[in-house]
Amino acid sequence: MHNLFPGNLASFVCGTTFGWTSPEIPKLKLTVDNPLAVPLTASEEGWVGSLLPLGAAIGPFMAGIAADKFGRKKTLLVASVPFILAFVLNILASDVKYFFASRFLCGLAVGSVFTVIPMYIGEIADDEVRGSLADQREAAEKSLSKLRGKPINDIQKELEAIRSTVEEALANKASFFDIFKSRGLKMALFLSVGLVAMQQFSGINIILFYTQDIFTDAGVSLPPEICTIAIGVVQILASAATPVLVDRKGKRFLLLLSAVGMGLSQAVIAYFFYLKDDKHSDISAIGWIPIVSLIVYIVTYCLGFGPLPWAVMGELFPGNIKSVASTVTASGCWVLGFLLTNYFGMVTGLIGKSGSFGIFSVCCVIATVFTYKLVPETSGKSLQEIQDILNGNTNDKD
């Protein structure tokens, strides 16, 4: 389990940076008890929210190189340095530029973490128990013996094959363009980019960055800070359940469940804002709807489209091309996150919150179809079995 500590710690810190804007931005817009001399403007608010994904779009390129040169674990540990610098800037901040720099540094670290973690997890996990990651790599022979249900002497041939595959991958580093020489690798890239794109178009950054604003705008009776804390608790609980459910149901099923749940919950939120902002109806009796809907959204997101696109990506590529594929995929993901976060306010001004959340709901429907039609089950399958599916040698997606 000690092998997992750097990844778990890095993921936890990433989560704190995502949620930071939700309670802090409303405070930075106040005229009292504000570290800034001048309250945050709408334009500055957009940049504070979006500079993290902008930095995260750059981070993967540094992390990809470092992961190959220094190793996955050391790269994860070094990625904590920008986090530390960012937190120091937050403490010292007296001008909005401090927060701009802080959010960008957090982005560099987040982009690095989300690039390296799929590689790190994919390489310390066995095919069958990749989801739970319990006690893996402490003894390769014991782990593989337990997995196959055979004595250690009977799994030596397979263990040797695994060792040879790893050594071959390390000895034959591939470039990004080598992906396009194989149908299976092209499909792996398409699925990886597609899954993280669907993750962003589900509206997750908007939900995390502006949770408190959403509750305030919805006019809920509970203090927005309490609602934000409740969402965070729900995230922790749902995330804890994900590994168990992955082992029982597989990643593909959870991705489908996640997309459907997110789509339905955001459709309800869209309808709520339609009644409130467009129809100007009395919504005092249904002020609980945004809370319940966002809880459903967060639960289903954490069960599927939160962690699993990155986990699936780490399982689709062989080791010799995994770092470059992860770099490109992660960078593309965060470019989308930057655009969505920075221009959410402008789009909402044009079509309203009901229209914005309606679009996110439709994107979740598209994610459902994408997953059902194209994404194979990777849990319990070796890299070769996954590549056979992607190359079209077998139609077994389950």
Q: Kindly write down the DSSP assignment for every residue of 274-293, as one continuous string.
A: IIIIIS----GGGTTHHHHH
pTM, rounded to two decimals: 0.72
In the predicted structure, residue 115 carries a pLDDT above the cut 60: yes
List pLDDT tens digits, range 150-167: 776 776 776 676 666 666
Q: Is 284 exposed, middle or buried (0-12, 13-18, 19+ CB in 10 A)?
A: exposed
* Alpha carbon distance 291, 282 (integer Å): 17
In the predicted structure, residue 303 carries a pLDDT above the cut 70: yes
pLDDT of residue 7: 58
User: Average pLDDT in the 216-236 region?
Assistant: 71
Give residue 10's pLDDT band: very low, low, confident or very high (50, 70, 90): confident
Token pair for 357: 């959340």
Establish whether domains 1-124 and 178-398 are of one fold.
yes
User: Average pLDDT in the 242-265 region?
Assistant: 91
pLDDT of residue 202: 92
Q: Which architecture characterizes domain 178-398 according to CATH?
A: Up-down Bundle (1.20)
Higher model confidence: residue 345 or residue 134?
Answer: 345
CB atoms within 10 A of CB 245: 17
Give residue 134's pLDDT band: very low, low, confident or very high (50, 70, 90): very low
Q: For the chain, what are the domain ranges? A: 1-124, 178-398
Helix pair 289-303, 211-218: axis angle to 10 deg: 150
CB atoms within 10 A of CB 343: 12
Higher model confidence: residue 93 or residue 71?
Answer: 93
**Is the domain covering 1-124 a CATH 3.40.50.720 domain?**
no
Token pair for 33: 């008890």
Give residue 296's pLDDT band: very low, low, confident or very high (50, 70, 90): very high
